[in-house]
Structure 1
Amino acid sequence: MKLFIASSLCWDYHPNEVITIAKENGLHGVELWAEHIYYHQANPAEIRIHAEKESIELTLHASSWDLNICSINKGIQEQSIAELKKSIDLASALGALHMTFHPGRLTVKKYLVDEHMRALVTNTKRLLEYAAVREVVLSVEMMEPIAKEILTEPKAMNYFLEQVGGGLQVTFDIAHTPLEESNQIYLKELQRVNSIHVSDSKRDQYHVPLGEGEINLEEILPCLAEKDLPIVLEGMDTGRSLFFLKKHLNYLHKEWKERKRSI
């Protein structure tokens, strides 16, 4: 298992400090959030040098807040594409393994679905063309089944991949799978998965520390352990204590320790 941490777990720390934190905890890599880099006004060239020095691999989570690449509002749509192109440039400068980005969503739920999908396919192809020139691999994230989200289950995502064509990869987030569904089955059904986001989930809250939600972790974690992909511990923590990250790591250490005992 290639364990990464999302830099959003260490929001108050400079990206170079997050890389050091990952190194100190014996982790394989860091998924830097574009907004985190912008927030600290960090230099991507310096981040890349520091990561190479520490032997830490990098991926990038593109800007996603307030963006929608298939918005009915053409101004929002074009600005969202511009922001994602900016993230692609950032991924290139970082030497990131890939860039995860969020698909667009409905502007008004349940209305003009076909129009949104046409825009989503067209604009994703535009991003793929831009990324190819910069030698950046793109990975679209399957989202949680909430109002306005479009790509929320394997069948819809696989169909979208067919429409877009080759080149696009998929980021699977176990916290986005409905609690009544199986992450193991979702992962088996999804095509082109090259990255997996990990956190726990409750019925009233997504992305909580591992062991504090209702996901069947005993089912999915052994499957993830066999994957030679970035397994990214996710969450949002704006403090300095790193309590969220520590809870993730403590759970995993306990889980693997108990598993070894049972063998």
Structure 2
Amino acid sequence: MDQSLNVFVTVAEKKNFSRAAEDLHMTQPAVSQYIRSLEETMDVRLLERTNKYVRLTKAGEIVYHHAKEIVGLYGRMHHLVNDLSHEASGKLSIGASYTFGEYVLPHMLARLLVDYPRIQPEVTIGNTAEIADLIISRQLDVGIVEGRFKENQTLATQAFAEDRMILVASSDHPLALKTEMIEWRELEDLTWIIREEGSGTREAVEAVFERFSINPARTMQFSSTQPIKEAVEAGLGVSLLSEWAVQKEIRYGDLVQLSVEGLPFVRQFSIVTSSPYQTKALQVFLELLLTNYELTLFREK
């Protein structure tokens, strides 16, 4: 691989020649020479640089996008060849949507590293749409998502586990004391705390709204699950969340599950990959994901 691409990506991400040189274990003049060589090859200026900043030009943004993918592909090619004669090891780039990434994945990685301590997981957490885009651009080896995303021929998906979505409220909410089944019309006048567009949890909430023909009087949006739980606990409203995400809060009485006809709402967690070639590190991780017994253990803790 052309080393100048790797140097360019590092400078673009560090936004500083000195920090890039330190990260690459090079001298600053050597880094500058690689950048000049790449700009001469491309016949265009890729970086705007002054004493105060280094930033990408429009052409630089295009080169960075593709160089990032090339560097990633080269690294994966190297790992695949190395895997032919070695045990599972090396970098494993995992993307996960918030629910799985925050509440299930850490436990799975802990189990993985007991058996394969030489694997080096790198985790990116984002909503379903973001993770799918990173898989398409080959910046991640595998993604675990719970929502639908735009169709793409390069992606392979496999459902592997169910997630149960339940309606939760604060422990002192009026509906928390209700013993009989709650009707949907009682929920329409409440404030619903929901996730942002593009998240699998938001998709599930909208599916529930459509299924039971309700139009909430008010919604409040947050970009991750933790502040939603805090908002519900503070009495700001109710929320439809993964059973995994609220286990501790329900156990300690901070939140309560409301009994509503038609719930829990069940959705699928899916594995998303883009390359037919898999490193040993990815293979053993996928084997762990596909062991539903392990997922059941996490829910019961």
Which TM class, normalised by the smaller chain length? under 0.3
The TM-score normalised by the length of structure 2 is 0.25
Structure with greater strand share of residues? 2
The TM-score normalised by the length of structure 1 is 0.27
